[in-house]
Structure 1
Amino acid sequence: MNQIINNTQEASMKVDNTSHPGRTAPEELVPSRYAVRIGEIDVLVVSDGVLPLPTAMLGHNADPAARAAWLGDMFLPQDAFDWALNVVVVRSGEQTILIDAGLGLDPDLNLPRAGQLMKRLAAAGIDLASVTDVVLTHMHMDHVGGLLVDGVKEQLNPDLRIHVAAAEVKFWESPDFSHVSMPAGFPDALRAAAKRFSKDYQSQLRLFEDEHEVAPGVVVTRTGGHTPGHSVVRVASGNDRLMFAGDAVFAVGFDHPDWFNGFEHDPEEAARVRVRLLRELAATGELLVATHMPFPSVGHVAVDGDTFRWVPVFWDY
């Protein structure tokens, strides 16, 4: 059985709004990291913050009335809501692996509640110099942006290995945005971030075709769909399993796996990938974590007729 460990909030902590002279108020009153042990491998889910986006992004091919009904059933606002941004740190043997790097700080997008990863890694006691490997599920800005923050590259280990699918790097040389449905400004920002990332980290890229073992029990596999090189990361040790699914799975995808997300470059293939992965997760019973599932995004998948059901784990303190 998966053992959930070391939740970052102490069980005795309580919210206290009373004024106490000389006492410094806590910077954050909500948890931003959550730890899971997969056999002998440590997994830490870290929140990079939240990204407010129009709700049409959840399913731009859906009937607006059906989308409005789903939002109502989920007690979500009809116009825009906050997408979670989750990143994972994995420790396997002597390797410390960062899976995705968050949004970073793009001043042109005015997203002050996102891009929190670097300060939250520091708060978790994770020194950037200790990271041996980075795995990128894909090269969208909210997955590489943290590596583009001023001063970050200088703190990283000069021998850092960055693993990304060769098809992903190739795609961003001349990206196709003809099938996406993004808010204004995002395509240009995505192009610029991917171009800068490829330039700044070219010498540290370790490209793979379809599958690559990053560390013992940590395997990255290209799925395509969301982007041509989109990949998922599987962590396995003993009888325990966990998949970090990147952007293959969104909250609405359990009830409506055929709805197209606005950031999908090949939405039809993305839907096929989503169904395949959800069926696999339901069959194996392994844990799922995904970038945009509500933090801490740790749970199981169950089959519910022709659709699926998300079963979040009970938090362990």
Structure 2
Amino acid sequence: MSQTIRNVQPVIANLGKEGSVELVPSRYAVRVGDVDVVLISDGVLPLPTSTMSTNVSETDRNDWFDGRFLQRDMFDWALNIALVRSGERLILIDSGVGDGFEYFSRAGQSVMRLESAGIDLAAITDIVVTHMHMDHVGGLNVDGVKARLRPDVRIHVSAAEVEFWKNPDFSKTVMPETVPPALRKAAAKFVELYSENIVQFEQTVEVAAGVSARVTGGHTPGHCVVDVASHGEKLTFVGDAIFEVNFDNPDWQNGFEHDPEAALNVRIALFNEAAETRALLAAAHVAFPSIGHIAKAGKGFRFVPVQWDY
């Protein structure tokens, strides 16, 4: 299955124009059949390395991070969102972390980067929220964002996710102590702000031609992934189902997973699916632009990034 990488207008219309303050690429486009997909970096989240491997020894964790030339204690966790254009519909997948979190001051760039790409927030017809963690709904909670979105924007969230955040269970998570209260607050604010726009779905929903969301559970009970399929080509945005450490170590658990065992089963299923179909995969927390193929490699998997088209 071949995928055509190309520049998408007007998404990169302002790239390189005078006044740009960005020194590194923050968006990358790929065409899937007739559907345009743009990955956008919201920035990075500095987090303890232990949150990436809560069920393994410090030695094994250090070996992996040493092998990646990364620090052993803290590392920069990529945070990506996506924008999809299918026909007349413009779909935002997740919204980044937003503002209000001093310890995440290097993220929250999504709105600015959408604007610098020439995207009017009012042009967005649909939003898919893979799950209601603050780094996925926080961008929508920023003051003034709702007023700039169209009043009838449809925000697709699984019913199981909405229900879970009414009384979230953190008993199986291993997070920094400041995180659960922030997650609760962000989820509650999101529901309060957008209750009239939220469109709940059970298992799957077609958002636009060739664009659908399906519930996987695992990371959170209502976590979903977004499939883009057109003319025999496919890309799946897997949200938080797969992290960078998991290509080499699929069984390593993440401290932000509300059901680590279920999350492992979801992860393996998505890996096998991508390897068998040769579809593209993109993720919220794989190094930008996070787009690539999955190949089986012994007991694990190998990530094959796309070749950038300059």
Q: TM-score range by the shorter chain?
A: over 0.9
Give 1:112's match in structure 2, choosing from 99, 105, 112.
Answer: 105
User: How far did residue 26 of structure 1 move?
Assistant: 4.4
Contact 1:45 1:86 in 2 (8 A): yes
Match of 2:33 in 1: 39
Contact 1:137 1:246 in 2 (8 A): yes
**Does residue 125 in structure 1 map to residue 118 in structure 2?**
yes
Percent identity of equivalent pairs: 56
Instruction: Give the match's secondary structure for 1:147.
Output: helix
Amino acid at match of 2:189: R
Give 1:102's match in structure 2, choosing from 82, 96, 107.
Answer: 96
Alignment deviations for residues 213-267 of structure 1 (CA, whole Å, 9 cap, x no partner): 1101001000000000000000001021100000000000111111110100000
Contact 2:44 2:76 in 1 (8 A): yes
Paired with 1:273 and 1:286, the residues of 2 have a C-alpha distance of 17
User: How far did residue 25 of structure 1 move?
Assistant: 7.1
User: How far did residue 73 of structure 1 move?
Assistant: 1.2
**Does residue 211 in structure 1 map to residue 204 in structure 2?**
yes
Which stretch shows the higher mean deviation, 1-10 or 305-314?
1-10
Give 1:254's match in structure 2, choosing from 222, 247, 251.
Answer: 247
Instruction: Give the match's secondary structure for 1:157.
Output: coil
Match of 2:63 in 1: 69
Paired with 1:255 and 1:52, the residues of 2 have a C-alpha distance of 21
What is the root-mean-square deviation in Å for CA atoms of aligned residues? 1.7
Amino acid at match of 1:205: I
Match of 1:171 in 2: 164
Paired with 2:198 and 2:279, the residues of 1 have a C-alpha distance of 30
Counterparts in 2 of 1:176-255, with a 5 A limit? Answer: 176-255=169-248
Amino acid at match of 2:286: M
Instruction: Give the match's secondary structure for 2:5.
Output: strand
Match of 1:141 in 2: 134
Structure 1 regions of 5+ residues with no counterpart?
Answer: 14-23
Contact 1:9 1:31 in 2 (8 A): no
Paired with 1:268 and 1:112, the residues of 2 have a C-alpha distance of 32
Give 2:263's match in structure 1, choosing from 256, 265, 270.
Answer: 270
Amino acid at match of 1:104: G
Contact 1:298 1:312 in 2 (8 A): yes
Instruction: Give the match's secondary structure for 1:110.
Output: helix
Amino acid at match of 2:40: V
Alignment deviations for residues 53-109 of structure 1 (CA, whole Å, 9 cap, x no partner): 0000111111111111111111111011111110000000110000001000024x4
Which one has a bigger Cα radius of gyration? 1
Moved over 3 A (4+): 7-10
Paired with 1:5 and 1:187, the residues of 2 have a C-alpha distance of 40
CA separation of 1:9/1:128 partners in 2, compared to 1, >3 Å: closer, same or farther?
closer
Give 2:306's match in structure 1, choosing from 297, 313, 316.
Answer: 313
Instruction: Give the match's secondary structure for 2:100.
Output: coil
Paired with 1:256 and 1:297, the residues of 2 have a C-alpha distance of 17
Instruction: Give the match's secondary structure for 2:28.
Output: strand
User: How far did residue 206 of structure 1 move?
Assistant: 0.5
Paired with 2:181 and 2:28, the residues of 1 have a C-alpha distance of 33
Instruction: Give the match's secondary structure for 2:195.
Output: helix
Paired with 1:283 and 1:32, the residues of 2 have a C-alpha distance of 30
Amino acid at match of 2:6: I
Counterparts in 2 of 1:72-87, with a 5 A limit? Answer: 72-87=66-81
Alignment deviations for residues 133-185 of structure 1 (CA, whole Å, 9 cap, x no partner): 00010000000000000100000000100001000000000000011111121
Amino acid at match of 2:78: A
Contact 2:12 2:117 in 1 (8 A): no
